[in-house]
A and B are shown apart, each in its own frame.
Chain A
Amino acid sequence: MDIVEQGPLVSLRGISKGFPNVQANDSVDLDFFRGEIHALLGENGAGKSTLMKILYGFYRADRGEIMVNGERQNIRSPLDARRLRIGMVFQTFTLIPALSVAENVALYLPHLPAIPGRARIARQIREVSLRYGLDVDPGATVRDLCIGDQQKVEVLKLLLADARVLIFDEATRVLAPHEIESLFAVLKRLRDDGYSIVFITHKLREVLACADRITVMRRGRIAGTLSCSEATENTLISLMFEAAAPAEMRTAAPGQRTVSATPSLELRGVSAKARGGQTRLKEIDLELHSGEILGVAGVSGNGQRELGDVILGLLPCAAGQKLLFGEDATRWSAGHIRRSGIGFIPEEPLAMGVVPWMTVLQNAALGDLEKYSRCGGLALDWSAVRADVERSYGALGLSAPGPHTQARALSGGNLQRSILARELGRLPRLVVASYPTRGLDVVSATSARRLLATIRDSGASVLLVSEDLDELYGLSDRLIVLFEGRIVRTAFPRDISREEIGHLMTGTGCGHAQ
């Protein structure tokens, strides 16, 4: 792919940005040209996101210059960036769910008249969406759209606001392989029309599939820039990591396990309604045995959260039966289920798993209050709590943080570890682990995976929900695929390919949440 030989559209020179704990960017020099797809590749925490947020005006660099079309620019806010026709699509969309597609787009139009003409805006939207394959209904409420369509709206927002530099931050995290292909097609059409596309990702395969140039970042610095012809998996990996390939994600494949007669969890024809009337679970039949990790694959929003919540007793079964260790637990309360030896690793640790302002010790006590209560609840045995915290961290091979550290002061990795320690320290018989390594750095992610494998080896059952196919393949003994609230396939990892899973995850076309 030829790089257009005019000067770069955007130039970054000597950009440095430090945060209290880390130097996110260190003297970065980078150019972006018109008519190219430029991938910014690196591990979690390499500084790619921060760099682009500086370009977009979300952060201010400590040092360095930004030049647009050869002229030095002072970008103090996203408004300035947008005036320079730079746009960014974030991982978490900045769409307003309650407003319509047209209203969301209108908010970003640079010259919106005081009384906007709704018909005119709708027409503009249709023209652009047709041109680049981003079809969405301008009148639809954003809340009702599936994630793939919402992303299209984000792109439309930028295009209609006259952006010519489009930055995508981990755009494919929420998409299935099928949808990723169509996103790449859109990017290529945009590139052919002269847009400058910056594509932030940590996934090698994507980079090799669509980028014209690839810049690898590592620890806040540029490790190297390659054209797509020069780049191979190995060269990229060696740039991404100082040493060789990252730690082996695949855990030792389990040998033939003696499956216990009674499954630890059984769902028979379970259906459930989700809050907000979104995805339902429809006639779920599954069995989970002791000493087994059951991986749940699926695009976020197809019933994974509901499945976990039903098992934990947080969501009632509208129909069907739920059996825990042979007992009918369909009507059990969440507390009852928890007391019978079920643990959970929540999808969002800070929002769902701990009380942020409480200390590690207090959160640990909450994990099993019945155990630590004395005199019928009038007093708490804090020394027992402390002993248990030490013990569970020790069993995981880690040192406990200060017991009076607030949960919200812990880093992502440490927070997840505290939850793991609390939940696994109770020696649960069944664990529902939702996206346990999301947002973690490599070290924490690897040790979390190892922990799950360890408790599986000691006889517990694990339901593992993950969006990382590598992780699912590496850890699971069996896999199920969820699509629109149904289990569309159950298989052993060795018997099913990623492509098949990808297609199952989306059925035909975009998986609409009904």
Chain B
Amino acid sequence: MRSRLKVLSDQVRRGLASAALRYVLILLIALAAYGAVLLMAGKDPVKAYGDIVKFTLGTSYGLSEVIVRMIPLLLTAVAVALPSRLGLINVGGEGQLYMGAWLATWGAITFTALPAIAFVPLLIFLGFVGGGSWAAVAGLLRAKGWVNETISTLLMNYVAPLIVGYFVYGAWRSAESSAFPQSPAFPPAARLPRLFGTRIHLGLVLAVLVLAIYWFVMQRTAWGLRMRAIGGNPEAARRLGIRLGWYIVIVLFIAGGIAGLAGMAEVSALHGRLRSGFSPGYGFVGFMISWLAGGSPLGMLLMSFLLAVIFAGGSLLQVTQGVPFAAVNVLMAIILFIVLAQIRFARRRRA
């Protein structure tokens, strides 16, 4: 048993080293390619990268901004990774995130008199249920065999922000005059506590906890083995008595709930109110992170950090160099491209 552990840890270490090397290489190539794109857009890539590194890794404020962005990315990544172990493709992180924010906002502006110690768990609960029920609809449709979850979660992605918009422009529109419509401010007790005197908030604890629980359930528990069996061979899993429909709905509910937590954390901790279109596409990027990391917890941690740096850098470049924030999509695409293009034969034809 002990020797098996040693063999395993050696493999892990070797695997980590080669994986780290791979990631670094991919990153370098991607940065070079994106640099070329920036050049063509008339910007100075070297200065741009220099500014980003100095800001994000050089200043403590910059680093905290990176971590702030890392929180929703990590959560939405797990929201994709968990169902992916069952072979389910959840592209609906964006919508689930909005619905978590929406339900949490309802709670924040309805129960204004609650003390913080009750509010925070309430918000966590509402955020989870909001996103979870949104995803569970797709799960139900899939379990019944009516609609593939890729399509349904994708379509519902576009409905959720509209629901938020409807309320923000309508029933929840704050009386305060401001540049754009927004909900009333959350009572102070409803704001997720901040850590280290920065904008980093309790969401970080949630995200890390969720990641750890994900790893534990998948690797160690009987439920995890069942879920991986469903992902590995649903037909065999069915025959072995595993209830597919049940797991599909439950897992998508939990995944949506995790994404919902991300939305709740964003509005509660960062903005303090609900605004239309507050997510720069975290849901899609979460898909990308989960996919790039192959569902591995450590990989997701690293990738979400990396992408958080990119996002923080993107915001910076928009301000300093007038590069539209949407351009970070190009960098993400390049990274995804490089990884996808390297796929070798996954299996050789058995001659």
Instruction: Tell me whether A351 and B233 are in contact in the complex, defined as CB-CB below 8 angstroms, given that A373-B222, A378-B220 are known contacts.
Output: yes
Stretch at the interface among B22-30, B98-106, B236-244, B300-308: B236-244
> Quick check: B241 and A334 within 8 Å, CB to CB?
yes
B232 and A380 form a contact (CB under 8 A)? no
Contact of B259 with A by CB under 8 A: no
Cα-based distance from A369 to B223 in the complex (angstroms): 9
| Cα separation A372 to B220 with both chains bound (whole Å) | 12
Which residue of the partner chain, among B220, B237, B238, contacts A380 with CB atoms under 8 Å?
B220
Per the bound structure, the CA–CA distance linking A463 and B223 in Å amounts to 31
Q: A355: which of B220, B223, B233, B241 is its contact (CB, 8 Å)?
A: B233
Q: Are B242 and A335 in contact (CB under 8 A)?
A: yes
Contact of B221 with A by CB under 8 A: yes
> Do B241 and A333 touch across chains, with their CB atoms under 8 A apart?
yes
Answer yes or no: B228 CB below 8 A from chain A CBs: yes
Q: When A355-B228, A355-B233, A356-B233 are in contact, do A377 and B223 touch as well, CB less than 8 Å? A: yes
Q: When chains A and B are docked, how far (Å) is the Cα of A478 from the Cα of B226?
A: 37
Known interface pairs A351-B235, A355-B228, A355-B229; A335-B243 also in contact (CB < 8 Å): yes
Q: In the complex, what residues of A have CB within 8 A of residue B223's CB?
A: 377
Indicate whether B351 reaches chain A with its CB closer than 8 angstroms. yes
- Residue A338 interfacial (CB < 8 Å): yes
- Which residues from A are CB-within-8-Å of B235? 351-352
- Whether the Cβ atoms of B221 and A366 lie closer than 8 Å is no
CA distance A338 to B236 in the complex (A): 13
Which residues of the other chain, A, contact B237 by a CB distance below 8 angstroms? 355, 366
The reply on A344 being an interface residue by CB < 8 A is yes
**If A377-B222, A378-B220 touch, does A366 touch B239 (CB 8 Å cutoff)?**
no
B21 on interface, CB distance cutoff 8 Å: no
User: Which of chain B's residues have a CB closer than 8 A to the CB of A366?
Assistant: 225-226, 229, 237, 240, 242
Of the candidates A19, A336, A344, A355, which one forms a contact with B232 in the assembled complex, judged by CB atoms under 8 Å apart?
Answer: A355
Q: How many residues of B contact A (CB 8 A)?
A: 20
Binds B, one of A132-140, A237-245, A357-365, A502-510: A357-365
Contact with A354, one of B221, B228, B236, B241 (Cβ below 8 angstroms)? B236
Bound Cα distance A47, B30 (Å)? 50
With A and B bound together, what is the CA distance between A362 and B237 in angstroms?
Answer: 12
Complex contacts, B222 vs chain A, CB 8 Å: 369, 372-373, 377-380
Residues A314 and B228 in contact, CB atoms below 8 Å apart? no
Q: In the complex, what residues of A have CB within 8 A of residue B220's CB?
A: 378-380
Closest to B1 in A: A383
Minimum CB–CB distance for B16 against chain A, Å: 21
Residues of A in contact with B, size category: 20 to 34
Contact A344 B239 (CB under 8 A): yes
Q: Are B225 and A365 in contact (CB under 8 A)?
A: yes
Q: In whole Å, how far is B245's beta carbon from the nearest beta carbon of chain A? A: 10
Inter-chain contact total with CB atoms closer than 8 Å: 72
The listed residue with most A CB atoms (<10 A of its CB), out of B220, B223, B229, is B229
Given A362-B225, A377-B222, A378-B221: A357 and B242 within 8 A (CB)? Answer: no
Judged by a CB distance under 8 angstroms, whether A346 is at the interface is yes
Please determine whether B232 and A312 come into contact, CB atoms closer than 8 angstroms.
no
The verdict on A78 contacting chain B, using a C-beta distance below 8 Å, is no
Contact yes or no, A377 B221, CB < 8 A: yes
A406 to chain B, nearest CB (A): 11
Complex interface bits, A453-468 against B, C-beta within 8 A gives 1, otherwise 0: 0000000000000000
User: Please, which residues of chain A bring their CB within 8 A of the CB of B232?
Assistant: 355-358
Q: How far is the CB of A50 from chain B (nearest CB, A)?
A: 9
B348 to A: closest C-beta gap in Å:
11
A68 within 8 A of B: no
Question: Which residue in A312, A353, A369, A378 is a CB contact (below 8 Å) of B236?
Answer: A353
Q: Given the complex, which residues of B lie within 8 Å of A352, measured CB to CB?
A: 233, 235-236, 239
Q: In residues 195-248 of chain B, which contact A (Cβ within 8 Å)?
A: 220-223, 225-226, 228-229, 232-233, 235-243
How far in angstroms is the closest Cβ of chain B from A384? 12
List chain A residues, Cβ under 8 A from B221: 377-380
Cα A372 to Cα B242 with chains together (Å)? 15
A358-B228 in contact given A352-B236, A379-B221 (Cβ < 8 Å): yes
Report B-chain residues with C-beta under 8 Å of the C-beta of A373.
222
Nearest neighbor of A358 in chain B, beta-carbon distance? B232
Q: Is the CB of A335 within 8 A of B225?
A: no
Cβ-defined contact, B242 with A314, below 8 A: no
A365–B242 Cα gap in the complex (Å)? 13
Flag if A335 contacts B241 (CB, 8 Å). Answer: yes
| B236: A residues at CB distance < 8 A | 346, 351-355
Chain A residues with Cβ under 8 A from B239's Cβ?
312, 314, 334, 344, 346, 352-353
* Pair A369/B243 contact, Cβ less than 8 Å: no
Chain A positions within 8 Å of B240 at CB level: 338, 366-367
Is A108 engaged at the interface, CB distance under 8 Å to the other chain? no
With a cutoff of 8 Å between Cβ atoms, the chain A residues found around residue B242 in the complex are: 335, 366
Q: How far is the CA of A318 from the CA of B166 in the complex (A)?
A: 46
Q: How far is the CB of B202 from chain A (nearest CB, A)?
A: 26
Docked pose: A104 CA to B243 CA in angstroms: 39
Flag whether A337 is at the interface (Cβ < 8 A). yes
Distance between A394 CB and nearest chain B CB, rounded to angstroms: 22
Asked if A435 is an interface residue, CB under 8 A from chain B, the answer is no
Interface centre among A19, A314, A366, A367 (most CB of B within 10 A): A366
Contact with B along A56-90 (1 / 0, CB 8 A): 00010000000000000000000000000000000
B233 close to A339 (CB less than 8 A): no
B216 and chain A: residue at smallest CB distance? A378
Q: Return chain A residues, CB-CB under 8 Å to B241.
A: 333-339
In the bound complex, residues from chain B placing their C-beta under 8 Å from that of A333 are: 241, 243
Bound complex: CA of A362 vs CA of B243, how far in Å? Answer: 18
Kindly identify which residue among A59, A334, A344, A358 contacts B229, using a CB–CB cutoff of 8 Å: A358
Q: How far is the CB of B192 from chain A (nearest CB, A)?
A: 29
Residue of A nearest to B223 (CB): A377
Most chain A beta-carbon contacts within 10 A, residue among B228, B239, B351: B239
Q: How far is the CA of A379 from the CA of B220 in the complex (A)?
A: 6
Q: A355-B237, A357-B232, A379-B220 are in contact. Are A369 and B225 (CB under 8 A)?
A: yes
If the complex has contacts A369-B222, A369-B226, A379-B220, are A19 and B351 also in contact, measured as CB distance less than 8 A?
yes
A356 CB contacts on chain B under 8 angstroms: 232-233
CA distance A377 to B224 in the complex (A): 9
In the complex, what distance in Å separates the CA atom of A312 from the CA atom of B240? 10
Expressed in whole angstroms, the Cα–Cα distance for A483 and B228 within the complex equals 38
Closest chain B residue, CB of each to CB of A60: B351
* A82 CA to B351 CA, complexed, in Å: 21
Measured in the bound complex, the distance between the Cα atoms of B228 and A334 in whole Å is 19
10 other A-B residue contacts (CB within 8 Å) besides A335-B243, A337-B241, A338-B240: A355-B228, A355-B236, A357-B232, A358-B229, A366-B225, A366-B226, A377-B222, A378-B220, A378-B222, A380-B222
A-B contacts, 25 listed (Cβ < 8 Å): A19-B351, A314-B238, A335-B243, A336-B241, A338-B240, A339-B241, A346-B239, A352-B236, A354-B236, A355-B229, A355-B232, A355-B236, A356-B232, A358-B229, A365-B225, A366-B229, A366-B237, A367-B240, A373-B222, A377-B222, A378-B220, A378-B221, A379-B221, A380-B220, A380-B222
Chain B interface residues toward A at CB < 8 A: 220-223, 225-226, 228-229, 232-233, 235-243, 351
> 6 closest Cβ contacts across the A-B interface?
A335-B241, A355-B232, A338-B241, A377-B222, A373-B222, A355-B233
